[in-house]
Amino acid sequence: MKKRGMCDCLVIGCGMAGTVIARELAERAGKKVLILEMRDHIGGNTCDYMNESGIFVHRFGPHIFHTDSKRVFDYLSRFTQWRNYSHEVVGDIHGQLMPIPFNLNSLHLAFEPCKAARIEQKLIAIYGLGSKVPILELRQQPDSELAEIADFIYNNIFLYYTQKQWGLAPDEIDALVTARVPVFISYDNRYFQDTYQGIPAKSYTLLFERMLNHPNIELLLNSDARRLLRLEAGEVLFDGSPFNGTVIYSGPADELFDCRYGRLPYRTLDFVFETHNITWYQPKGTVNYPVDREYTRITEFKHLTGQALDGRTTIVKEYPRAYTGADSETPYYPIQNPENLTLYERYRKLTDEFPQLHLLGRLAEYKYYNMDAIVKKALELADTLIK
Ligand code: UDP
């Protein structure tokens, strides 16, 4: 174990948040950074690898990078080239595949031509071509035909999928969650419309290896901060000794304080991988199952990675459930509701006593961040720390 005084900054977690801030502190501020990662691999949930069948897969479900931020894109592009990939998702609605987000192409697949054309005109007149309308907003429409299509979308795209994913109905969760997948008044079938989108040309793992490859960065895998870091009476203790440097923590905020107010609720996922002796399993990268099945979606990795291989393909099915806090489970999705946010705020407030400590990332901030938002947040934190 590192002895105190041997590093200037401690970073807990080697996912996107921890890795970007570590690189920034090491490179821009010349700090000696020690990263503690509890898992046995870098990259957090972006971790990817070649499986035993020779198919390149994402270990924790599909990770498609997308951003409108030039700064974020340029930053990551220092460490990776990109495969130009625009993700497309279709929903299997009783056997019929239609684009998700539900868009004008979906409309014409779901309704007979005259009706679809009429509804399309109304949607364009009210919202404008190219606009994105959250389903909960569309449901407020007084026009009976629009109310009917809002009901169709709500019932066939959102209701059961959300029930599976969150254990709750769409109107029982934060409206921003379903607004991530709005009704899209457009013929654009892409899942994201960001300026920059793709997958690291070789792998996320290589992207992380390159970010971590700096003489000022030292990484310890299999190192659980819950055992090494103590916060007591305004003092940070690392491995039993006072530590005065900057600490960036990207783990769950409650675990930093032994869950003393109770656990912050999360949803977790079970990933079930299958390899099939066929070239393609499904027509698009992801097929969602919003009306049946126990899993929410199936992703076929060759669509994402562009790997050319005949006669073999790997898919992953995602089964959501409640996170219990067991060490074998991973908290993936914070459940942002007023009660949980209040609980989070109690934990966050405890960190006020430790000005050297900064919470960063999806777990530590209890926010449903996309990858690019985490990179942006890490770069901005670096800006404030390095003056
Ligand atoms: N959603 C849904 N049906 C779909 C796709 C999404 O109901 O076919 C809802 C669901 O509540 C989901 C949320 O929209 O949790 C956000 O979806 P997104 O694809 O952004 O989730 P992620 O990829 O982060 O799991």
Quote the pLDDT of residue 149.
97
* Best probe residue, ligand 1, of 165, 295, 332, 337 (max atoms within 8 Å of C-beta): 165
- For 176, 275, 360, 363, 368, the CA distances from 264, given in Å and listed in that order, are 19, 35, 16, 10, 14
What does pLDDT average to over the chain? 97
CA of 181 to the centre of ligand 1 (A): 6
Gap between the Cα atoms of 338 and 141, Å rounded: 27
Nearest-5° Cα angle at 261, 257 to 265: 95
- Which residue minimizes the CA distance to atom 2 of ligand 1? 158
Quote the pLDDT of residue 4.
46
- For 92, 165, 297, 300, 355, the CA distances from 319, given in Å and listed in that order, are 16, 8, 8, 15, 39
* Best probe residue, ligand 1, of 89, 180, 183, 291 (max atoms within 8 Å of C-beta): 180
Quote the pLDDT of residue 1.
54
175 lines ligand 1 (CB under 6 A): no
In 3-state terms, what secondary structure has residue 255? helix
197 lines ligand 1 (CB under 6 A): no
Quote the pLDDT of residue 164.
98
Domain boundaries, the chain: 9-86+200-264+334-386, 89-184, 266-322
CA of 178 to the centre of ligand 1 (A): 6
Ranges of the chain with pLDDT below 70:
1-5
* Best probe residue, ligand 1, of 177, 267, 287, 372 (max atoms within 8 Å of C-beta): 177
pLDDT digits (tens, 9 = 90+) for 265-295: 999 999 999 999 999 999 999 999 999 999 9
pLDDT digits (tens, 9 = 90+) for 47-92: 999 999 999 999 999 999 999 999 999 999 999 999 999 999 999 9
- CATH code of the region 9-86+200-264+334-386: 3.40.50.720
Closest Cα partner for 198 from 72, 363, 45?
A: 72
For residue 62, give the ligand 1 atom closest to its CA. 23
pLDDT digits (tens, 9 = 90+) for 25-56: 999 999 999 999 999 999 999 999 999 999 99
| R_g of the chain computed on alpha carbons | 22
Q: Which of 280-299 are b and which e, b meaning 16 or more Cβ less than 10 Å from the residue's Cβ?
A: ebbebbbbbbbbebebbbbb
In this prediction the pTM is 0.97
- Which residue minimizes the CA distance to atom 23 of ligand 1? 62
Helical spans, DSSP H, in 67-203: 70-77, 104-110, 113-127, 135-138, 144-153, 160-166, 175-178
299 lines ligand 1 (CB under 6 A): no
Quote the pLDDT of residue 48.
98
Place of tokens 């921003």: 176
